[in-house]
Copies of this chain bind each other. A is one copy, B any other.
Amino acid sequence: MPSAVGITLKQAQAAVEAALKKSQEIGTLMNVAVVDAGANLVAFAHEDGAWLGSIDISQKKARTARYFDMPTGAIGGLSQPGGSLYNIEHSNGGLITFPGGVPIKNGSGEVIGAIGVSGSTVENDHTVAEAGAAAVK
């Protein structure tokens, strides 16, 4: 019997819906992507009129957050010129290391996937991603 690799579709869709709700509350137009524990896409939504370039960025943020099990912005703090991870973005077919991607954990604290959000300021992107991740128990 095939099974999900970490996060289920039902959980991923709940994360997307919670993120879209937060996006509408704060008046942004977002792209929202959720990947599983293997960094494979599980659910995605592009709000009408959201930046087209953020379709790819939201997916790369989700994968980056799962690849390293931390918020994407934490990596960006280390990948600056002179930083210990300078230009890590060249790996894995392209990483995005500014805020907007966060791991998704289950009730036991295990990482089961990640969410990536792109479409506004990085602060807003992060806020919306957090709202999405919080919807998964």
Contact = CB atoms under 8 A, between A and B. Distances in A.
Interface of A: 1-6, 8-9, 12-13, 29, 36-57, 60, 63-64, 66-69, 76, 79-82, 84-98, 110-111, 121-122
A38 B76 CA distance: 25
Contacts of A121: 84
Interface of A, helix, strand, loop or mixed by DSSP: loop
Contacts of A90: 60, 89-90, 94-96
Contacts of A45: 9, 13, 42-43
Given A3-B110, A80-B82, A84-B98, 20 more contacts: A1-B49, A2-B49, A3-B49, A5-B37, A36-B38, A38-B39, A40-B55, A41-B46, A42-B45, A42-B46, A44-B44, A51-B68, A53-B95, A56-B91, A60-B90, A60-B91, A76-B87, A79-B86, A87-B97, A91-B96
